[in-house]
Amino acid sequence: MGPMSALTRNEAQTRAALLDVHHYHVTLDLTGDDETFDSTTVITFGAKSAGDTFVELKPDELRSATLDGHPLDPAALDDNRLPLTGLTPGDHVLRVEARMRYSRTGEGLHRFTDPADGETYVYTQMFMDDVQRVFPAFDQPDLKAVFAFTVTAPAHWTVLANGVTQRTGRRETDGADIWESAPTPVISTYLAAVAAGPWHSVRTEHAGLPFGLHCRRSLAPHLDADADELLDITRACYDRYHEKFSEPYPFDSYDQAFVPEFNAGAMENPGLVTFRDEFIFRSAVTDTERMRRAMVVAHEMAHMWFGDLVTLRWWDDIWLNESFAEYMGYQTIVEATRFTDTWTEFAVTRKSWGYDADQRPSTHPVAPDPDDVPDTASALLNFDGISYAKGASALRQLVAWLGEKDFLAGINTHFTRHKFANASLADFVDSLAAATDRDVHTWADIWLRTTGIDTLTPEIQEGPGGWTLAVRRDGSRPHRIAVATYDHTPGSDRALEPRDQLDLDVPSGEIISGAGRRPALLLLNEGDLTYAKVRLDETSLETALRRLSGIPDALSRAVVWNALRDMVRDGELAPQDYLQTVHAHLPEETDLAVVQGVLAFARGQIADHYLPPQERAGALRLITSTTRDLIRRTEDGHHPGLRLAAVRVFIDSATQPDTIAAWLADGTVTGGPELDPELRWRVLGRLAVLGAVTEREIADALAADPSATGEEGAARCRAALPDAEAKAAAWARMFEDDSLSNYLFTATAQGFWQPEQAELTEPYVARYWADAVALAARRGPAIGEAVGRWAFPTHAVSETTLQAGKACLEEPDLIPLLHRKLTDQLDDLSRALRIRTT
């Protein structure tokens, strides 16, 4: 189902001035065919004055609609808008009966049949404007209402919703069960949620509320293995938020459902958070990945207050939801769980997402001007590294500047003032300002209303009496940073020892003076408290390249690795020099997040994009040599996460099939780990790229692992085969057959383009533009996102690709989300071209 008419901000303001929406009673019948379901909705609302408006609905068939008992003409439905004309002041009742269509793209009511056991699951993703794919709604965040659901489902299913659900009856005709949900407090339309199917559930109670974990039955043993960890984290975050926040948790239960083929990481539906079910680990993972899952749990729970209790008025303030939850998720995990080094992972993984987004033409302020978010289609573009990572970085800097006590006092004022209502950036800043003497309004204007990234460069002068430091700022924001100095450790050719740590405001004009010899390494932004690129002076850069692994603190090493990464991207450090630094220092690294982040950049960006094709094989050999050193270092079994991370990248970077084919035949990496499903599909995928696996072997692997992830692995492998027929078949599946789900489309796209196969796939580069535009127009934003992110020919780094892409941006049928993705991809491609020619 393709795009719908976007709601404009002006339309939303007009409708909010006219209406008060009171209650939705939504009745869903999920017992019909595989393609559609029945939806009956009764909306009670009030009109403040006489006027006309509309309700949004995207049905397969609108069967009937009545307003105050008077029938409306179903033919009046215009695309996704049903007009409501001649409203009089006072209360009204709208009743709508419709047949709706299930989604296969994660939008609306998504339906999934598990290939492992044939069981079917459905769940809603109502975000932004997809509620109208499930039931009619006045679909804007500032028309909050009470929601209650009645759901008829097959007898062996369980129904979950925002409020506590219970089975209340059985339909005599077919034995289907009828479920009712408790009514919610007032929430926004995009937060209503239902999930139904034969869930495997783990239930408990905490603080007087029912808590639950739910997943597909085929994942039951994997959920059971992790249930204690997940519930411990959930309880710890819940308790910590009640220490931080003065408002109590506002809903009647806390269910967390891990659902299939989910587009986002998770969704903060009050009382029923949905997560992508890859978070139910069926294969070995690193501790960093467990920490990341814990952070997502904490992130979504923070939304219960910031987003669900207090909600944005319009989508220009989406950053308020996401930046706050991102910051609070990381900080709360540090305070409440065993994962005490989460800010290192944030520095390596999330911040680079923000830094990269902020240097593209598509960048925008953390808090964009409302006029720049005129409708829901443009708002959807802002779910990016700016709204999450940069916004969270800005809040972290705000806390460093205000102090946490005043920051939390301001937050709690905000909750008290606007609970169960809507608020804007101005309201948020006013609440913060009430808790401090500092000029928060000016800070917000400088940090949140501007684009781009500052660069901080140390300028060190040496003299007979000592040395001085001044910090040059390329940019306009004030920064509160720490500056760390290090000296060589006597008797060691690698270690560094800290000398001093100094706090500094930039720009303050302050000159730091030091006695004696200048430090061997001077590091700006120690602790990573601000959002800025940092540079190293010449001496410090030389020290870093020689002694990076000797810096004692992991977060400080992460700041240096980020500085080197930025220098590569800005053409100030040769990609090969970065790879040599990786080879020299990563085998000594002990922090998992640093290892995973550095290897991801080396493998995914430098080897595939920043080096010319003739240097790629050498880069891959250097990466496999580095990972082999890590594998050797972890033979004692004390660092299984490091070993797993190294094994994965070794597999992905193999230029010859021998070693990984032997692992596949043996069912184990030499010395461990054994090949679980994830590693087995990873090896098969690389062997497919190298032409060392057959279709028969892929089919046999799928027969041995007939799961959803097995189907994705097989699709990825088949698309990766270096065979003209395989490529033609994969292209047809993606661009001509609209039956692929969002996940199977992504898996096929991931396999299709391989730098090793550039000659074979060259004809498809020219075909991509028109086919991508047409596909996104037919199938809508979720597939548009996937076709721009995963199906783009990123390996084809050439002026020809760049010019063809720029021409595509002028296509009139290009949906906004794909336009944004292509803009970003082309900017990345242009950067790769510059780096190759520097």
Is 649 part of any domain? no
Is residue 106 classed as helix, strand or coil in its secondary structure? coil
Cα 565–Cα 528–Cα 307 angle in degrees, nearest 5: 105
The CATH number of the domain holding residue 358 is 1.10.390.10
Is 77 part of any domain? no
**Which residues are annotated as catalytic?**
300
| pLDDT for res 509 | 80
Q: Calculate the dihedral angle through the C-alpha atoms of 366, 371, 377, 380, rounding to the nearest 10 degrees.
A: 10
Is 367 part of any domain? yes
**Domain final residue, candidates 448, 463, 486:** 448
As a residue count, the chain comes to: 838
Is 737 part of any domain? no
Is 60 part of any domain? no
Give mean pLDDT, residues 500-511: 89
| pLDDT for res 95 | 98
The tokens 């808090």 sit on which residue?
367
Residue 102 reports pLDDT greater than 80: yes
Please, is 718 exposed, middle or buried when counting C-beta atoms within 10 Å of its C-beta (0-12, 13-18, 19+)?
A: buried
| pLDDT for res 21 | 98
Residue 58 reports pLDDT greater than 60: yes
Paired with 149 in beta bridges are: 26
Longest Cα separation, the chain: 96
- The residues, any chain, with a CB within 8 Å of residue 772's CB and separated by 6 or more, are 735, 787, 788, 791, 792, 808, 818, 822
SS3 readout for 491-521: CCCCCEEEEEEEEEEECCCCCEEEECCCCCE
Could you report how far apart the first and last alpha carbons of the chain are, in Å?
45
Give the total number of structural domains in the chain. Answer: 2
pTM attached to this predicted model = 0.97
Range name among 353-357, 420-424, 489-493 with the lowest pLDDT average: 489-493
- Order of strands, edge to edge, in the sheet holding 272-276? 200-206, 209-215, 254-259, 272-276, 266-267
Give mean pLDDT, residues 770-777: 98
CA-wise closest residue to 309 among 325, 293, 329: 325
Would you place residue 39 in the very low, low, confident or very high pLDDT band (cuts 50, 70, 90)?
very high
Residue 1 reports pLDDT greater than 70: no
Average pLDDT of the chain, as a whole number: 96
Alpha carbons 651 and 663: distance in angstroms, whole number: 10
Cα 246–Cα 248–Cα 250 angle in degrees, nearest 5: 135
**Residue 385 one-letter amino acid:** G
**Domain final residue, candidates 448, 472, 501:** 448
CA-wise closest residue to 633 among 622, 642, 620: 642
Residues above pLDDT 70, as percent of the chain:
100
| pLDDT for res 87 | 98
Residues above pLDDT 90, as percent of the chain:
96
Is 615 part of any domain? no
Supply 146's token pair.
């009470």
Would you place residue 314 in the very low, low, confident or very high pLDDT band (cuts 50, 70, 90)?
very high
**Residue 257 one-letter amino acid:** A
| pLDDT for res 3 | 56
Is 814 part of any domain? yes
The pLDDT tens digits for 157-175 are 999 999 999 999 999 999 9
The pLDDT tens digits for 177-187 are 999 999 999 99
Domain with 329 in it: 310-448
| pLDDT for res 809 | 98
Is residue 701 classed as helix, strand or coil in its secondary structure? helix
Residue 2 reports pLDDT greater than 70: no
CB atoms within 10 A of CB 447: 24
Is 625 part of any domain? no
CB distance 737 to 705 below 8 Å: no
**Domain final residue, candidates 402, 430, 448:** 448
